[in-house]
Every structure is written in C-alpha cells, then in structure tokens.
Structure 1
Amino acid sequence: MDIDIETGAIDRPYPLLFQPILVDKVWGGDRLERLGKTLPPGVAIGESWELADLEVTSRGASAGSIIRNGALAGRPIRDAIHRWGDALLGGVELAEWGGFPALVKYLDATQHLSVQVHPDADYALLHEGANLKSECWYVIEAEAGATLYLGLAEGVKPSDLIARARTGTVADLLQAYEAVPGTWYNVPSGTVHALGAGVLVAEIQTASDTTFRVYDWAEEYGRSGRTLHLEEAAQCIREDKPPQPVALDPVARDGVVVRTPFFTVSEFRMEGRETIEPTAADAGCRILMATSGSVEVRTVGNEPVTLSLGDTCLVPANCLSGLEVEAIDDTVLIVVRFNDSDDH
C-alpha cells in the first residue's frame, strides 16, 4: 500500500473516528441532523451506526465502520484490528466472526419502534445465525409524554403477550416508563421492549442485529406490518424485571450508569475547558461518545482528535496511558469499557 505519511505512522495506534452508517427506517425522521449527521433529502433516517463491525445484519449485508481520520482514513475498522491487534484491543475479545464486539448507534424515533426481543447466549448457542444482543439507551431528547416500553407488566406471562400479539394491541401488557432526557435504560437480552415515538437516543449494545419482532403498530400508524417472529420471541422473552432507569444525581459530575456482563458505561458532565483522565491504563480499549458539546482527545505521541457533538471515538488500549480529554464547551461524555469474559 502506498502512503504519503510519516514512516511507521500507519502502524502506530491512535484514536479513531468513523463515518456514520445511516439506516432508513419507517419510523425514522430527520432529527439526527441535530447530532451532526448529513441526511439524504426526503428519506426517513432512523439510525446512525457510529461504530459497527457486523458480519451480517437484519437486511442481509455486512456492516463495517470506515475510519475517517489519520493514517487509516478510508479503511474499515477490521483493518485496524488486523494491523494493531492487542495494541488496539488490550485483551478485549472479538466477536465470534472476528469483528469488533460492540455496536454503537443513535436512533431517531418519530413513531413507535416494534415491540421486540433479542436472544440471550443460550438461545444463540442452539440456533445458527442468532447472536446474543444486550443493549442500553441514553435519552438525549424526548417530546412531552414520550414513553419507553421495557419488560412485561406485572402479572403478565410471555405466553399472554404472544397470544395478544396474534389478535390485537399489546401496549397494556408492557411496563411503560416516561422517557426522561439524561436517563439510562438497561435492556438485557430477553427483555421485551420498544422505543416510543418522540425520542432521540444513544444506544450501546453487543455486536448483534438479531431481532425478533412481536408487534409492529401497523394499524396504529396505517403502515404495512413487517414480518413478526412470534415463535422465536416466545423462546426468548424473560419474565423478570429489567434494571430500573438510572440518572446521575443533579450535583454529580461523573459516575457509572450501566453495568452489564459485557460492558460498563460511565457518564461525565464536563464544563468548558475542564480536563479529565477518564480511564485507567491497565484495561482494554475505550469508546467515547459526545452526546452534547465537544471535546479534544489527547494521547501520547499522537495528534489531538476533536470529538464533536454526535461523534464516537475508539481509543486503543495502548493509548490509555496519558489519555486526557478536554472539554471545548459544556459536554456530556459517555465512556464505555469492556468487561472480562469471565463476567459473561
């Protein structure tokens, strides 16, 4: 490969930024422009995949993020994984197909998303093509009265939900939560759920696009109903309650907001020109997201990287020592670290 850069620069890990992958959805809109995304005219965009490395998606094709900065600009994330190896990952285990183990996205819901469930490890082990999916949501914006559906309502069995889905609406069988900006909602695999209309959220999840649809609100929105997967969903829906929503205390500046067996999420509220060192140097790579404001990411031996509103940055493991993040203006910074495989 011919490169007109400093000798060896391409082999030296540095913080990576990515080109967003825009995904049209029947329930999408145009609010992702508020997060810096350039949207095609006249197309309802529901998702912006910020960091992705999937072998296959629900639409059949693979999806891999393209690096947009530095010596590897224009190349897929898999190239960085192959070239840098553990200097990038720091012991973080890849997905079984060799891809990066997380999918990070923003979602704009102008209509309700389908009521759905994702498989757990046991189901995925027994069913070829299915992959475990555990996720969490951070509400960036919410219209008045916006609702999130998370888990079964009190006394409802999975069989009750499946039976109702065959004949009528299901909203009253689900646990409903108010969508509150600045709040986190943990959605473990097996938890039936739906984003309600009127929310703009960040989503962090394991690397999977396996979704079993239970109800699609077709009659409510006068749209063609998409394929349902009731038999599969019936095998996956769990009865126990998901974790309660979490938000940082109003006076807190930072804290852990979501813990899963696969990743841990921290939130930092930064004031302009404030500098933090958000990680320890003895663990794997980190994902940084700016859901408001912007920051400068500084690592030893590399040019600073500006993380603007809506951007996502992957910081290699061997860049963590000496990592500094300075707020350019007031910023909400999300930091994701991966847990040991023994926690899975």
Structure 2
Amino acid sequence: MKLYPLKFTPVYSYRIWGGEKLKTELNKNYDQNSIGESWEVSGVPGNETKVSEGPLSGKTLKDLIETYKDELVGQSVYDNFGSTFPLLIKFIDAKSPLSIQVHPNDDLARQRHNSYGKNEMWYVMQAEKKAELIVGFNKRVTQEIYQEHLQNNTLPEILNTEKVKEGSAYYIPAGRVHAIGEGVLIAEIQQTSDITYRIYDYDRIDKTTGKKRDLHTNLALDAIDYNHYASYETGYETCTNKVNKLIFSPYFKTNSLHLKDSFSRDLSSIKSFVIYICVEGETSLQCFNTTYELSKGETILIPATIEHIDFTTKGVKLLEVHIT
C-alpha cells in the first residue's frame, strides 16, 4: 500500500495544571477535565497515537515503521532509531504554572532509564497578558547555591523569567531548568522521551491523589546546567511564502512557514519524514492528486518518500519539523 500524508488521533493527558484551551482554542474533542496535553504524534509505548484517516487507520507509528521502514522515516533515521519514532509532538495548555523541572541528556537517560534524553523546543501559540515562562537561571550558580535556595524554598529567586507572546520560540536543551507559566498555550517538539525530573512544585496537592507530587531532587542534581546565558529566546524571520529557519538542533530541525496564498514545497533535499503543525489559520495540502485539510491545532506527517507538497491557503502559519 502506497504511503500518504498521515493524520493521527491525539492522546489526551490529565494534568494538575491543565485547562480548557485545547478545546476552546484548538477544537480538541474530549470529555475529561484538566486536560493539559494533547499528544499529536507519539510513538511512546503506552501513549502511541494511531492513524485517523485512510487505509492505514488504526495503525501506530511502530506498526508503520515495522512495515515501511525507511520509506516512512528516511534511511538515516531508520538506521539510527530502528522501529522507534524519534520525535514527540504535543500541544500544552497551562491554566496554572507547571512544576519547575529539568530533563536528562542522552547519556544520563540511557544510564538511568534505558531511554533517550529530552531536548525540546516551545512555540507559543497563545499567551494571556503578563504570561511568563521560566527558562534557565538569571545568574551563574553552583550546585551548592542551587541546593541552598531549594532547601530555603526560594528557588524562584535565581530563575530566569521571560515575558512571552504569540510566536515566541525557545529551545530547551537537556539540563536547562524550565517551566511553562500560567496562561500559556504552546506547541512542543521534543525527543521521544517521557523522562522529567520535577524539582519544585509550589507545594501543590493533586486532587486525584490528595497528596503532593513527587520531587526528583537528587536525580536532578547531576542533570542540571548551572550556567547563565545572555539570551534564551530564539529570534527568527517571518517572511511570507518562504521557509524561515526557526530552531535547528542535533535532534530536530524546525522551520516557520507564514503562507498567504499558493505555495509549492520541494522536500527532495530532506532525507527524513516531515511534520507540519498548524499553529494559526488553515490550509489545503495537495499530494498524489488528493487534498488534505489542515487547521489550527492539527498535525500531519509527510512520509519520507513524498518529495513535493502544494499548499493552498488564505492565510496559515505552520511549523515544519524534520530530522535530517
């Protein structure tokens, strides 16, 4: 069966800090309360998304890779990752602040958890007035200074806060302390990993358990990058009907596309799958004489064998994500 552009049924996750914006802003369909995350494209065991349309409906990413191998993900990706899909795509709605946390790098995650590490990026889709993110430290600290503030319940004093707005973008490498603040809706692109070290949680009680959530104080100590950096936000161009470089890392590459009318995208130089995340507006994608609709809050995966896509739109903003 010939591969085609693939949409997936999201996996929704309860979070203590979740709100309603996945419904009200992104038109997600679920019945639970406090849904904080919509996993759009996921190969994480136990939370695998399934194809939602076409002849391959019901297939997971692992099913697809085992059948199509490099035709789906690209030769170098298949050689490096086998049947593991290397990225996890999410939308995150923070009604209240997330815990302050850090993720281990590949070496530490492999040693401790037999997992990949977690390098990620955030793209702010919507932010309420005065919305903030925590990214890194506001000065150079040592492990001892960090522990002192942690013990004195004053950790926020040494953390860097950033005012954000729609379109703000941040790369969060493994080791960088971070947290999404109240009133922020983001698209998150990350390595396939669910390893998080929670280091500060405002003494909140989880209503589902009646207890405070676990902290990972000791695990985090060797994972944290204690350096201070001059700048944390990523600046980028927003030229219309052009592929604008956004964040390129060793783990994924992300471009920003602001399209106003018809646009043809040659993908032949990209040797992996491509994922499009619609962060504003809507568009039609033409491929193999078939049209696929994509609206705000939707995601579509283009298999590696597809080398050309035509877009038709009256106005859309897309994130384009690939590996190589």
What's the TM-score once normalised by structure 2's chain length?
A: 0.91
* Deviation by residue 1:162-187 (Cα, 9 ceiling, x = unmatched): 33223313211111111121111100
Cα distance, 1:194 vs. partner? 0.5
**Please, which of 99, 102, 113 is the counterpart of residue 117 of structure 1?**
102
Does 2:112 align with 1:127? Answer: yes
Instruction: Give the root-mean-square deviation of aligned CA atoms.
Output: 2.2
Please give the residue correspondences for 1:216-295 in structure 2 after superposition, counting only pairs within 5 Å.
Answer: 216-218=201-203, 224-241=211-228, 244-249=232-237, 253-271=242-260, 273-277=261-265, 279-295=267-283
Checking the alignment, whether the CA contact within 8 Å between 1:217 and 1:225 is kept in structure 2 is no
Checking the alignment, whether the CA contact within 8 Å between 1:114 and 1:194 is kept in structure 2 is yes
Please give the residue correspondences for 1:1-344 in structure 2 after superposition, counting only pairs within 5 Å.
Answer: 11-33=1-23, 34-41=25-32, 43-55=33-45, 62-93=46-77, 98-218=83-203, 224-241=211-228, 244-249=232-237, 253-271=242-260, 273-277=261-265, 279-299=267-287, 301=288, 303-320=290-307, 322-327=308-313, 329-339=314-324
What's the TM-score once normalised by structure 1's chain length?
A: 0.86
Cα distance, 1:218 vs. partner? 2.2
- Single out whichever of 275-284 and 71-80 deviates more from structure 2: 275-284
Secondary structure, counterpart of 2:321 in structure 1: strand
Cα distance, 1:130 vs. partner? 4.2
- Kindly provide the amino acid, as one letter, of the partner of residue 21 in structure 2: R
* Deviation by residue 1:37-67 (Cα, 9 ceiling, x = unmatched): 01315x1010000000013xxxxxx211110
Residues 86/114 of structure 1: CA separation in 2 closer, same or farther (3 Å cut): same
Residues 280/178 of structure 1: CA separation in 2 closer, same or farther (3 Å cut): farther
Checking the alignment, whether the CA contact within 8 Å between 1:186 and 1:258 is kept in structure 2 is yes
Residues 309/228 of structure 1: CA separation in 2 closer, same or farther (3 Å cut): same
Structure 2 regions of 5+ residues with no counterpart?
A: none
CA distance in 1, matches of 2:267, 2:55: 24
Secondary structure, counterpart of 1:112 in structure 2: coil
Secondary structure, counterpart of 2:140 in structure 1: coil
CA distance in 2, matches of 1:232, 1:143: 33
State the number of aligned residues: 318
CA distance in 1, matches of 2:19, 2:34: 4
Residues 225/250 of structure 1: CA separation in 2 closer, same or farther (3 Å cut): same
- Kindly provide the amino acid, as one letter, of the partner of residue 52 in structure 1: S
Structure 1 regions of 5+ residues with no counterpart?
A: 1-10, 56-61, 340-344
